[in-house]
Amino acid sequence: MSPRFEVGASVRVRNVSPPGHLRTPFYIRGCQGVVERICGPYRNPEELAYGNRQADRVPLYRVRFAQHHIWPDYCGPEQDTVDVELYEFWLEPTSENAHAA
Amino acid sequence: MSEPFPERSHHDLGGLPAGPIPQGEHDYALWEKRVDALMVLLTKPDQELMTVDQLRKGIESLPPDAYDRMSYYERWIYSITQALQHNGVITTTELGQKLEELQRRPASSGEST
Amino acid sequence: MPHEPAHPTRPDQDAPLTYYQLLEQAVRELLIEKRLLTAEEIRAAVERMDARSPEQGARVVARAWADPDFRKRLLQNAPAAVAELGIEIGPLQLTVVENTETVHNLVVCTLCSCYPRNLLGLPPDWYKSREYRSRAVREPRKVLEEFGTVLPEEVTVRVHDSTADLRYLVLPRRPEGTAHLDEAALAQRVGRDAMIGITVPD
């Protein structure tokens, strides 16, 4: 399965909270960031958590976020960042690259 | 009137206000190292009796006050018992019988006989 | 005779076993009775983790400082590079992030306590604390200062939240005045906290 997003793509984290084992931290939901690297395919932890060891592999990305975009009152320089690993189904293209299929 | 479902799970701590970071360290007790070792062995690819994701989910499912009060490896061993039962490796009855047996044994160091 | 463990074991107290200690013993004995594990395997696994320590990470850092080509390989494919030193890290998806003049890296796991255990051994309590997990992403510079690390505004602070399978090792900057040191001496300068990014080597 080929990754949907390229390195450098602008993405937004879905803002949803289904009850389950989520590895997308609450603080990053709804935030916009940039794909820093494509980590490769990994089995979906949300399914592994329920004992499904044959869970599908999903592309995992490292996404970089500007601290100022996460915390309105962030105390530090503009260029400070947080990198978070996120699974593809948690990411949407932002309007800047809506052409990503 | 019902409470809204907490969108931020209790364990999901990133960004919450908190006090100074306690910098003391403790030497791990042998029972804690054994819990750690159990996890390594139980999640080996060739004989996967549970997954690390099940460990995490079990810990996340603890009620907030239990999560806060229990120590790190107390949460782990609790979660391991849940995952192993879910996966059919041990049963609640077996656990209960074993606990009774252990309590009847004369004071031991926790070593397996 | 095995060498001293990197993580000294707290001596047993005379107090009766707690519920959770009994639970650990119960689970262990049931698994042994069911022939799913042996007591020897468990003992060996405890020893293996005990043998893992920040010294292993320090060797990697020292080699990277001394050998620029190794450093490149380490940043490109950390597991392969670490294997060159004979350090066995199993399936650990080690990822090395490099401190530079303009970037300082800090590692946290806000959701639990993910840590490169197979390289550095067991994590310190503070790394697993709710305070660190809460604040490291939100106010990393204040957190760094609590540990005595002050960074100028010109240096970008890059926090890594280990939410999936990647496990991070910070490659600290080589301290000034170390050009004359051999690898073993360089390794002495690298502590665990510098490889998490909460401090810098003196």
The answer to whether the Cβ–Cβ distance between B14 and A17 falls below 8 Å is no
Beta strand pairing call for C156-161 and C103-108: parallel
The answer to whether the Cβ–Cβ distance between B14 and C10 falls below 8 Å is no
The pLDDT, as a whole number, for residue B107 is 65
Q: Is residue B112 scored above 80 in pLDDT?
A: no
Q: Is B23 helix (H, G, I), strand (E, B) or coil?
A: coil
* Distance, CA of C154 to chain centre: 27
> C122-179: per-residue pLDDT in tens?
999 999 999 999 999 999 999 999 999 999 999 999 999 999 999 999 999 999 999 9
Asked if residues C58 and C131 have their Cβ atoms less than 8 Å apart, the reply is no
The pTM (predicted TM-score) of the whole model is 0.93
> A19-64: per-residue pLDDT in tens?
999 999 999 999 999 999 999 999 999 999 998 888 999 999 999 9
Known catalytic residues of C are: 109, 112-114
B:C CB pairs within 8 Å: 163
Hey, of A46, A48, A79, which one would you mutate to test binding to chain C, going by the most C CBs within 10 A of its CB?
Answer: A79
Nearest to A82 by CA among B21, C141, C4: C141
d(C-alpha B88, C-alpha B99), whole Å: 18
d(C-alpha C165, C-alpha C115), whole Å: 10
Of residues B7, B15, B57, nearest to A49 (C-beta): B57
What tokens does A26 get? 């609450």
> B56-105: per-residue pLDDT in tens?
999 999 999 999 999 999 999 999 999 999 999 999 999 999 999 999 98
The answer to whether the Cβ–Cβ distance between C9 and B13 falls below 8 Å is no
> A73-93: per-residue pLDDT in tens?
999 999 999 999 999 999 999
- In B, minimum Cα distance to A44 occurs at B53
Asked if residues C75 and C95 have their Cβ atoms less than 8 Å apart, the reply is no
Q: Cβ of B79: how many Cβ atoms within 10 Å?
A: 22
The pLDDT, as a whole number, for residue B47 is 82
